[in-house]
């Protein structure tokens, strides 16, 4: 499934590849919205991958006290390593396959995944012992236990972790889209078309109007996502909370 | 040695001991008793005496460190938990329907829900079928727990202090419901309580557990329904209380 998502991303990027407008003094609102769309697509793909990876990692790490003692320190080290330190290496890998978006998605994924993993581990650890005992007593084991008990029980923490992860993604997006600074002898043409790269490009070229418009659109997008997605999901997740 | 083949015994504990890892004292030691089919047995004792551990051993949720247990297989055992242990993301009817579907994979969701409704009706909760646990009172949640436990038509129903957090009126109502269902279904019931009065009101047999072992066993002959103001009831409570605090 993660490979499928990456494949879809590759096709989408090839179909809608647009250069970053660096030289014009003005930029149309449609271009800004398209840039926002690309940025959201990268964030969305990275987020989906982060969720798909986080859930099994969290389940694995909490499977037994031994597993927890083994995996938690390991995860702690991974999440402490600065993500941007990986970026030049990641870019070099993706340059070879000429898939720059892959580099951006990977860095976004790495910035998101640990937020979700650690909140999910916290969520699994607070499942009441009576609930686990009841589930096992009534025959819920293995996959059935995962689908019917563990996954629903994780929903509140998944939503909280997702909000944190997406916020982290927005923080990283500027770096993730402005690839040329990490490529030896790189040029702005190697940057990815997105709201992050437009912000950097506008700032570098003194295009204050473009910069302000891009900034406003980013803020509005973040606010709308918060209002229409995260707030609704937070309310929905209340139902999954244990008293 | 006690034996399941003796008379009508459904559950037999022979010299059971239970020690948890990282704990120096044993939770249970030298526990031997038998429970006859169709009886309502109540375990009483101070907090931390090991009452709930006995239920967990019967349910197969814990394994004894020493000794042997003869009991029906876990699929024929059901339990009502102190906290209710309902899944908060499922409605009352879906909480019951879920265990029906888990126990019988061939059951469609529609039929499981229909059967679940019947069990909710048994505990007079049919009107609350579509409510989530968070929208139910403590007593209603315990009723759903009882309906869920009965839905799997168990040979043995275990009750782990299910009424301890409820007000006296709700507790009395649930006692009446439990006794009615016991008579109706003939299920063997084992309950844990820290209240002597509750045990005397419900049980045909009481086992007093102190410091991880059986201190006394009582067989009650007071006819149902038992009322707290009746002389026989008061005498029985006094008798047990003496041993409880001895």
Note the pLDDT of residue B160.
94
Q: Does A217 touch chain B (CB under 8 A)?
A: no
Taking an 8 Å cut-off on Cβ atoms, the answer to whether A130 and B87 are in contact is no
Q: Does B112 touch chain A (CB under 8 A)?
A: no
Q: Does A151 touch chain B (CB under 8 A)?
A: no
Categorize the per-residue pLDDT at A223 as very low, low, confident or very high, splitting at 50, 70 and 90. very high
Looking at per-residue pLDDT, the higher value among A39 and A21 belongs to A39
Residues on chain A touching B74 (C-beta within 8 angstroms): 137
Per CATH, domain A2-7+29-240 is 2.60.40.10: no
Note the pLDDT of residue A18.
45
Q: Does A134 touch chain B (CB under 8 A)?
A: yes
Note the pLDDT of residue B7.
65
Note the pLDDT of residue B25.
75
Kindly tell me if the per-residue pLDDT of A6 is higher than 70. Answer: no
Nearest CA in chain B to A149: B87
Domain boundaries, chain A: 2-7+29-240
ipTM score assigned to the predicted complex: 0.88
pLDDT over 70, % of chain B: 97
* pLDDT tens sequence across A176-220: 999 888 888 888 888 999 999 999 999 988 999 999 999 999 999
Categorize the per-residue pLDDT at B120 as very low, low, confident or very high, splitting at 50, 70 and 90. very high
Note the pLDDT of residue B5.
54
* pLDDT tens sequence across A71-118: 999 999 998 988 888 888 898 889 888 888 999 999 999 999 999 999
Residues on chain A touching B60 (C-beta within 8 angstroms): 137
3-state secondary structure chain A: CHHHHHHHHHHHHHHCCCCCCCCCCCCCHHHHHHHHHHHHHHHHHHHHHHHHHHHHHHHHHCCCHHHHHHHHHHHHHHHHCCHHHHHHHHHHHHHHCCCHHHHHHHHHHHHHHHHHHHHHHHHHHCCCHHHHHHHHHCCCCHHHHHHHHHHHHHHHHHHHHHHHHHHHHHHHHHHHHCHHHHCCCCCHHHCCCCHHHHHHHHHHCCCHHHHHHHHHHHHHHHHHHHHHHHHHHHHHHHHHCCC
Q: Does A81 touch chain B (CB under 8 A)?
A: no
Taking an 8 Å cut-off on Cβ atoms, the answer to whether A148 and B56 are in contact is no
* pLDDT tens sequence across B56-84: 999 999 999 999 999 999 889 999 998 89
State mean pLDDT over A137-166: 96
Categorize the per-residue pLDDT at B3 as very low, low, confident or very high, splitting at 50, 70 and 90. low
Domains and CATH numbers, chain B: 1-72+155-223 (3.40.50.300), 86-153 (no CATH)
State mean pLDDT over B118-145: 94
Q: Does B83 touch chain A (CB under 8 A)?
A: yes
Which of B52, B56, B89, B160 is the best mutation test for A, with the most CBs of A within 10 A? B89
Q: Does B114 touch chain A (CB under 8 A)?
A: no
Categorize the per-residue pLDDT at A128 as very low, low, confident or very high, splitting at 50, 70 and 90. very high
Note the pLDDT of residue A210.
92
Kindly tell me if the per-residue pLDDT of A236 is higher than 90. Answer: yes
Listed range (A49-58, A89-98, A136-145) with the worst mean pLDDT:
A89-98
Taking an 8 Å cut-off on Cβ atoms, the answer to whether B89 and A239 are in contact is yes
């Amino acid at each position: 499934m993660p490979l499928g998502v990456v494949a879809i991303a590759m096709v989408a990027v090839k179909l809608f590849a647009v250069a970053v407008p660096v030289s014009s003094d003005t930029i149309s609102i449609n271009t800004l919205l398209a840039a926002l769309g690309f940025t959201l697509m990268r964030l969305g793909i990275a987020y989906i991958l982060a969720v798909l990876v986080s859930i099994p990692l969290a389940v694995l790490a909490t499977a037994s006290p031994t597993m927890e003692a083994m995996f938690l320190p390991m995860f702690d080290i991974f999440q402490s390593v600065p993500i941007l330190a990986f970026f030049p290496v990641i870019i070099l890998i993706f340059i070879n396959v000429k898939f720059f978006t892959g580099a951006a998605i990977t860095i976004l994924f790495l910035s998101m995944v640990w937020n979700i993993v650690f909140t999910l581990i916290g969520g699994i650890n607070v499942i009441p012992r009576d609930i686990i005992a009841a589930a096992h007593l009534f025959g819920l084991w293995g996959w059935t236990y995962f689908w019917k008990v563990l996954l629903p029980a994780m929903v509140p923490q998944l939503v909280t972790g997702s909000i944190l992860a997406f916020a982290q993604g927005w923080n990283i997006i500027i770096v993730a889209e402005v690839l040329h600074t990490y490529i030896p002898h790189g040029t702005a043409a190697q940057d990815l078309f997105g709201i992050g790269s437009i912000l950097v490009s506008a700032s570098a070229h003194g295009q204050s109007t473009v910069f302000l418009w891009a900034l406003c659109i980013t803020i509005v997008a973040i606010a709308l996502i918060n209002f229409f997605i995260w707030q609704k999901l937070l309310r929905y997740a209340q139902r999954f909370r244990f008293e | 040695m006690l034996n399941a083949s003796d008379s009508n015994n459904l559950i037999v504990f022979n010299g059971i001991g239970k020690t948890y890892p990282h704990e120096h004292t044993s939770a249970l030691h030298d526990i031997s008793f038998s429970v006859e089919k169709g009886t309502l047995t109540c375990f009483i004792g101070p907090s931390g005496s090991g009452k709930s551990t006995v239920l967990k051993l019967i349910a197969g949720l814990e394994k004894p460190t020493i000794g042997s247990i003869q009991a029906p297989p876990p699929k024929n055992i059901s339990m009502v938990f102190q906290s209710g242990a309902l899944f908060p993301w499922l409605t009352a009817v879906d909480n019951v329907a879920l265990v029906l579907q888990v126990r019988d994979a061939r059951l469609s969701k529609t039929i499981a829900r229909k059967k679940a409704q019947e069990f909710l009706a048994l505990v007079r909760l049919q009107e609350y079928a579509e409510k989530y646990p968070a929208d139910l009172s403590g007593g209603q949640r315990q009723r759903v727990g009882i309906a869920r436990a009965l839905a799997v038509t168990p040979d043995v129903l275990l009750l782990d202090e299910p009424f301890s957090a409820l007000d006296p009126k709700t507790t009395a109502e649930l006692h009446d419901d439990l006794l009615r269902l016991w008579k109706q279904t003939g299920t063997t019931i084992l309950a844990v309580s820290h209240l002597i009065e509750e045990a005397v009101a419900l049980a045909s047999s009481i086992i007093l557990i102190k410091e991880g072992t059986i201190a006394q066993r009582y067989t009650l002959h007071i006819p149902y329904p038992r009322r707290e103001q009746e002389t026989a009831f008061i005498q029985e409570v006094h008798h047990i209380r003496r041993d409880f605090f001895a």
